[in-house]
Structure 1
Amino acid sequence: MHIDIEKATAREKYNLLIGLVAPRPIAWVTSMDEDGALNAAPFSAYNYLCTDPPIIGMGVMEKGEFVPKDTARNIRRTGEFVVNVVTEDLLHEMNICATDFPPGVNELEMAGLTTAPSTIVKVPRIAQAHAALECREFTTLAVGRSHIILGQVVAMYIEDRFVNPDGPYVLAEELHAIGRMNGLGSYVKTNGAFVQEPRIPYSEWLKGKR
């Protein structure tokens, strides 16, 4: 099947993109408004973009025409947020935070979660999350009905048991982060799913060709 994107509807483009750009990491974002009210929401249009400086990017769609989601509005106004890593043991709680609760409802309380202070930014991390990235807004781009938020990572939290100090390296095969697949509540686990395929040095590739 060949799809002419210019003729596709917004829903068709969404359905196809989330099926092909997968698995996607999930940014479980905590943010605060000017009064200190906390918001928590997951976004799977997310990834790291560069490392020097360390920049992550995420796309946040409007919840209504010209109405930004709480996360985008909070980041725009305060300039800070935290990306909490979603792992298999926190899938259910993360999903609760995706519920469209009425204004004023604390998603973390609904999910039975607590917070812990961050080291640099004012926004707290989720205490039950095994790892988190403290971020400051680098820039925000308004594209169509989405806000593309670039955040500069200013600090990280990782539980000691998930770090090899020699690198340091994250012990990803033990952390068990999950990814988003398509929509409609589809996810993929990483526990027991790692495949090792080392890169081939050019000199070794030449030997193999002979």
Structure 2
Amino acid sequence: MTLNVDLCALEAKDRYKLLTAVVIPRPVAWITTISEEGIVNAAPFSFFNLFGKDPALVALGLEHHADGSPKDTTRNIRTNGEFVINIATPDLTEAMVGTAAAYTPDEGEPEALGLLTAPSTHVAPPRLADVPVAIECRRTVALTFSPEREIVIGEAVSLAAREGLVDPANWHVHWNGDYPVARLFADRYARLEEIAPQSIPSAPT
């Protein structure tokens, strides 16, 4: 028998619990931003994906505090319109999860956790130096759906990649088995190791 669930009848926390356990795996945007005071913030978000190529758009789902006030990432993006999406590999999962802890606005997660940063080329927020690839973005539009939920659409304007990851002759990316970590549900993350055979038709875009 099939279980049919009326999502509209569920409490929000139960909808979240159910949907995030079935819509998997999800890519993780480890976002760095910078405040007006120059404090660098870092936080992971798994409501994230690529959204287009011309322009190159990304979509981020940002959660506010329960009282509707913005968290550091949202506030910083609102202030200067810039952010960097750092793509983490499994060896960085512990550090990435560590930046999700509650810090005060005058505390920067990279500094508190000893994470190295490197300058960006087109935006003010720095990238995390140890990730294999970082995407510099500028906010295009933000949509507010509730006191706790905002979606930001940003344009990807620059990319920094570890030496050997990208071949500029053909723009092929060579992960060499060290693929980005993906979010599952609760405190579970996935290591992408098994690749489907090439005989399987390409997935729709």
Opposite residue 193 of structure 1, the aligned amino acid is E
Would the aligned equivalents of 2:31 and 2:45 in 1 still touch at CA under 8 Å? yes
Cα separation, 1, equivalents of 2:32 and 2:19: 26
**Which of the residues 116, 120, 140 maps onto 2:118?**
116
Q: Which residue of 1 aligns with 2:161?
A: 158
Pairs within 5 Å for 1:131-146: 131-144=133-146, 145-146=148-149
User: TM-score scaled by structure 2?
Assistant: 0.92
Deviation, 1:161, is 1.7
Aligned counterpart in structure 2 of residue 57 of structure 1, from 51, 56, 59? 59
Which amino acid in structure 2 is aligned with residue 158 of structure 1?
A
Question: Is the contact between residue 89 and residue 178 of structure 2 (CA under 8 Å) also seen in structure 1?
Answer: yes
- In structure 2, distance between residues paired with 1:175 and 1:81: 25
1:47–1:57 contact (8 Å) kept in structure 2: yes
Tell me if the contact between 1:28 and 1:84 (Cα under 8 Å) persists in the aligned partners.
Answer: yes
Give RMSD over aligned pairs: 1.5
The residue that corresponds to 2:42 in the other structure is 40
CA distance in 1, matches of 2:177, 2:105: 37
TM-superposed CA distance for 1:172, in Å, is 3.2
C-alpha distance after superposition, 1:106-127 (max 9, x if no partner): 2112322111000111110011
Q: Which structure has the larger Rg?
A: 1
Contact persistence 1:138–1:152 (CA under 8 A): yes
CA separation of 1:175/1:165 partners in 2, compared to 1, >3 Å: closer, same or farther? farther
Kept in 2, the 8 Å contact 1:28–1:86? The answer is yes
Task: Specify the alignment match of 2:78 in structure 1.
Answer: 76
Once the two structures are TM-superposed, the CA of residue 169 in structure 1 deviates from its matched residue by: 1.4
Partner of 2:150: 147
Runs of 4 or more, structure 1, over 6 Å off, are none
Percent identity for Structure 1 against Structure 2: 35
Cα deviation, residue 173, structure 1: 4.1
CA distance in 1, matches of 2:201, 2:99: 42
User: Could you say which residue in structure 1 is the equivalent of 2:177?
Assistant: 174
Contact in 1 for aligned 2:57/2:155 (Cα 8 Å)? yes
Unaligned runs of 5+ in 2: none
Q: How many aligned positions are there?
A: 199
Gap change, CA 1:200 and 1:3, over 3 Å in 2: closer
Asked if structure 2 preserves the Cα contact closer than 8 Å seen for 1:96 and 1:110, the reply is no
Alpha-carbon displacement from aligned partner over 1:7-64 (angstroms, at most 9, x marks no partner): 1100111011101111000000000112211110000000001111100001011122
Comparing both structures, which one devotes a greater share of its residues to helix?
1
- Which sits farther off after the overlay, 155-164 or 131-140? 155-164
Kept in 2: contact 1:121–1:134 (CA 8 A): yes
What's the counterpart of residue 197 of structure 1? 198
Structure 1 position 200, deviation (Å): 5.0
Q: Structure 2: how far apart are the matches of 1:96 and 1:63? A: 18
After TM superposition, the structure 1 stretch with the greater mean CA deviation from structure 2, 82-91 or 109-118, is: 109-118
> Could you tell me how far apart the structure 2 residues matched to 1:37 and 1:50 are?
31
Could you give the per-residue CA deviations for residues 119-138 of structure 1, whole angstroms, max 9, x where no partner exists? Answer: 11111001111100000001
Q: Which amino acid aligns with 1:54?
A: A
Secondary structure of the corresponding residue to residue 51 of structure 2: strand
Asked if the contact 1:173–1:194 (Cα under 8 Å) also holds between the matched residues in 2, the reply is: no
